[in-house]
Structure 1
Amino acid sequence: MATFPIVNMEKLNGEERSATMNLINDACENWGFFEIVHHGISTELLDTVEKMTKGHYKKCMEERFKEMVASKGLEAVQSEIEDLDWESTFYLRHLPESNISEIPDLEDEYRKVMKEFAKEIEKLAENILDILCENLGLEKGYLKKAFYGSKGPTFGTKVSNYPPCPKPDLIKGLRAHTDAGGVILLFQDDKVSGLQLLKDGEWIDVPPMHHSIVINLGDQLEVITNGRYKSVMHRVIAQTDGTRMSIASFYNPGSDAVIYPAPELVNKAEEKNNIYPKFVFEDYMKLYAQVKFQAKEPRFEAFKTAMEDTIRVDPIATV
């Protein structure tokens, strides 16, 4: 079995740059995921984020989760649950406007730490997008510009905890899906595993590693790259022991951004039969909300027929 791709970002600055860029390109083409180490975010900040996130769950969310489990009788289920995930979550929005001051129960120090974390993750996301541009032969800044819309990208973080589950064979931590957006940067627990991706018909574990960031590609990058890079199905398997922490930050297009395959990546002979549509990101998200846990291909097809004649596409100017 192929080894899950792990990228040392420091090697981009030395004589191993070419090999490292090739590793990233291969991961994007064949996995939809890769894991990065030495990415420039301080280990002290990551340790603080982890400590405070786990503390916040214990103090403010654990009891509520137990009450939900009891109210739904989940510990006694006998057949697979298909409309619920075994997770406790809250969402932070960073761009275009932050809602971090409005989230209840967060201590001031935790808010401050998560703001700092979001700034670092945003910088890393934009760095990753430029690395992808280079590998794709697109101008530097193309993907950021494609995501921009009129108010800049949409950027937010889903903070999740996956508590011990008595029936992990019947209740998924998070059901299988592809991510709707752009590039996803995940800071996950390094002691409790559970994240898996689907490759060549098999579920493969994404290895938990101390201080690493997992990168995965969303549907929008599949469309913009005209299918050269793919978003892939992934899921979280709940564990019987230990609570798994997951902090997933989504660097997505702005709500009014028009998404379509980069012209440089479209073969002229295939242009008329191209399977990837043009659409407004907000419209895609409305459809995705209804069919998140279903295959992505019908989503693309729905927009191909509905939107093709309604949007005039201008070339993206890059700086």
Structure 2
Amino acid sequence: MKNWIKAKIRTKNFEKEVMETFPVVNMEKLNGEERAATMKLINHACENWGFFEIVNHGISTELLDTVEKMTKDHYNKCMVERFKEMVATKGLEAVQSEVDDLDWESTFHLRHLPQSNISEVPDLQDDYRLVMKEFAKQLEKLAEYILEILCENLGLDKGYLKKVFYGAKGPTFGTKVSNYPPCPKPDLIKGLRAHTDAGGVILLFQDDKVSGLQLLKDDNWVDVPPMHHSIVINLGDQLEVITNGRYKSVLHRVIAQTDGTRMSIASFYNPGSDALIYPAPQLVSKEQEKTNMYPKFVFEDYMNLYSELKFQPKEPRFEAMKTMEDIAPIATA
């Protein structure tokens, strides 16, 4: 597997195809002679992209195929009509100007940690519940493996990131299951507006036939290529803070398509609600200690702010958390 694939770059004035070095990581190579080069590729992706795509990640293709089939079946049986009613109620098919207060997506959410709510989510078939529980278990294991890889690349102690995420009650972990139906006016309605993710590490299983996910790199929107049986990894705001900006969360969005329904299953392995988030001391130089680039805060406080400002730039959120810290200093012991 080559570590580059062709990506499409969209600029304001034109569209062109380039051989863009979008990072694709063959995880099996971490167990052989190419481990050092593969670790270097992951580090480069985290520092320069905030995203990378992994293959041979240990989750069976049979499970992925089952998850995809059941998710698409569930959407067709239980959610299509609901989505059509929403579109009709809001008059979205007749809009004449850009819509900036909602997204062209049909979603439901599952919580896995600290306590699962899968048994309580309505309309799910029992076999689908069981499959999603198993999928979540595999993704949780993969997320923790990714955190260990990041620790090694950053020179942090083994288990550092998992311990920070754990807090006193354990991490939070949940899944957003989305479908993006064909949209009559994709130039006016986004599938999902541009944002950075609030949390830790995000694991995305996306449709390999219908594209739409893009990230912002060097002021250009770059397609995240759909690949069969891959998992897309991206980093959230918390990892930017903990790494003191060495790794950054990146703006991304979903472009609605005129043909085909895009499936997206995004799982968020995040700090626990009471976890204390701040730059790892090993990654802060003496000079940076004086500038205080990133704040110290409790994750739940950040999430409360994020819920109101998700589609706005992240920098003011960080500044707001600094202000909260100054007003009410956080105890560290």
TM over 0.5: yes
Tell me the amino acid that sits aligned with residue 171 of structure 1: I
Q: 2:8 — aligned with what?
A: none
Aligned-residue identity in percent: 84
Structure 1's unaligned 5+ residue stretches are 315-319
1:211 aligns with 2:224: no
1:252 aligns with 2:249: no
Q: 1:317 — aligned with what?
A: none
Give the alignment of 1:74-93 within 5 angstroms.
74-93=92-111
1:119 aligns with 2:137: yes
Tell me the amino acid that sits aligned with residue 199 of structure 1: K
Q: 1:223 — aligned with what?
A: 241
Contact 1:275 1:304 in 2 (8 A): no
C-alpha distance in 1 between matches for 2:323 and 2:303: 17
1:196 aligns with 2:214: yes
Q: 1:313 — aligned with what?
A: 332
C-alpha distance in 2 between matches for 1:136 and 1:274: 20
1:97 aligns with 2:115: yes
Tell me the TM-score normalized by structure 2: 0.93
Instruction: Measure how far apart 1:219 and its partner are.
Output: 0.1
1:152 aligns with 2:170: yes
Deviations, residues 144-190 of structure 1 (Å, cap 9, x unaligned): 00001111000000000000000000000000000000000000000
C-alpha distance in 2 between matches for 1:68 and 1:270: 49
Contact 1:275 1:301 in 2 (8 A): no
Q: For residue 254 of structure 1, give the secondary structure of its aligned residue in structure 2.
A: coil
Instruction: Measure how far apart 1:274 and its partner are.
Output: 2.0
C-alpha distance in 2 between matches for 1:306 and 1:125: 30
Instruction: Measure how far apart 1:272 and its partner are.
Output: 1.8
Number of aligned pairs? 314
Instruction: Measure how far apart 1:3 and its partner are.
Output: 1.5
Tell me the amino acid that sits aligned with residue 331 of structure 2: R
Deviations, residues 190-219 of structure 1 (Å, cap 9, x unaligned): 000000000000000000000000000000
Give the alignment of 1:32-111 within 5 angstroms.
32-111=50-129
Deviations, residues 91-146 of structure 1 (Å, cap 9, x unaligned): 00000000000000000000000000000000000000000000000011100000
1:300 corresponds, among 310, 315, 318, to 318
C-alpha distance in 1 between matches for 2:227 and 2:139: 17
Tell me the amino acid that sits aligned with residue 225 of structure 2: P
Contact 1:25 1:132 in 2 (8 A): yes
Q: 1:133 — aligned with what?
A: 151
Q: 1:184 — aligned with what?
A: 202
Tell me the amino acid that sits aligned with residue 278 of structure 2: Y
Q: 2:7 — aligned with what?
A: none
Q: For residue 152 of structure 1, give the secondary structure of its aligned residue in structure 2.
A: coil
Q: 2:252 — aligned with what?
A: 234
1:19 corresponds, among 15, 37, 54, to 37
C-alpha distance in 2 between matches for 1:270 and 1:227: 11
1:8 aligns with 2:33: no
1:291 aligns with 2:325: no
1:243 aligns with 2:261: yes
Deviations, residues 33-56 of structure 1 (Å, cap 9, x unaligned): 000000000000000000000000
Tell me the amino acid that sits aligned with residue 284 of structure 2: V
Tell me the TM-score normalized by structure 1: 0.97
1:279 aligns with 2:297: yes
C-alpha distance in 2 between matches for 1:74 and 1:254: 37
Taking only aligned residues, the RMSD between alpha carbons, in angstroms, comes to: 0.8
C-alpha distance in 2 between matches for 1:35 and 1:108: 31
Tell me the amino acid that sits aligned with residue 154 of structure 2: L
